Amino acid sequence: MKISEILQPGCVCLPLRSTEKAAAITELVDLLQDKGFLADRDEVLRAVLDREKTRSTGIGLGLAVPHGKSHGCKKLAMAVGKTAAPMSFDAVDGRPCNFIVLLASPADETGPHIQALAGVSRLWQNEDFRKSIARAETAEEIYEAVTRHEA
């Protein structure tokens, strides 16, 4: 599964206005709501925040992938944001986060949800991709980096 099959160009935010984890998650859920991907914004936000309480989705190297499954989501959707300044996300490597990929999916779509999470993780392992994200100054540059580096 290609990330560009899920991520729409209008669902990229740079910079995120938020400076802390819950606010950044809310900002990205609101972006999905604004673009019409959600049937129930509050239900999706609750699902993502509840998931975050069980274990941080700060996976390391500056990346966080908050995610949740909810009946409030119409179809698999993704929003990404680059922070203005690194923020704490309780990452497993203890480093701050500067790139957030929020994934929301319907409650009954486990397979595509897992595939999307794996795809994001694979993409982030590419050092050239991480460098492209670090240099990106516009949402368009982030989206272009995704399409250029995905397998």
Kindly report the CATH number assigned to the domain that includes residue 38: 3.40.930.10
Sequence-ordered alpha helix ranges (H) in the chain: 21-34, 41-54, 110-124, 127-135, 139-149
Give the model confidence (pLDDT) of 54-77 as tens digits.
999 999 999 999 999 999 999 999
pLDDT in tens, 83-125: 999 999 999 999 999 999 999 999 999 999 999 999 999 999 9
Quick one: residue 36, left, alpha or beta (phi over 0 = left, psi -120 to 50 = alpha)?
A: left
Asked whether residue 151 carries a pLDDT value surpassing 90, the answer given is: no
The whole domain housing 13 covers 3-149
Task: Look at the chain and report how many structural domains it folds into.
Answer: 1
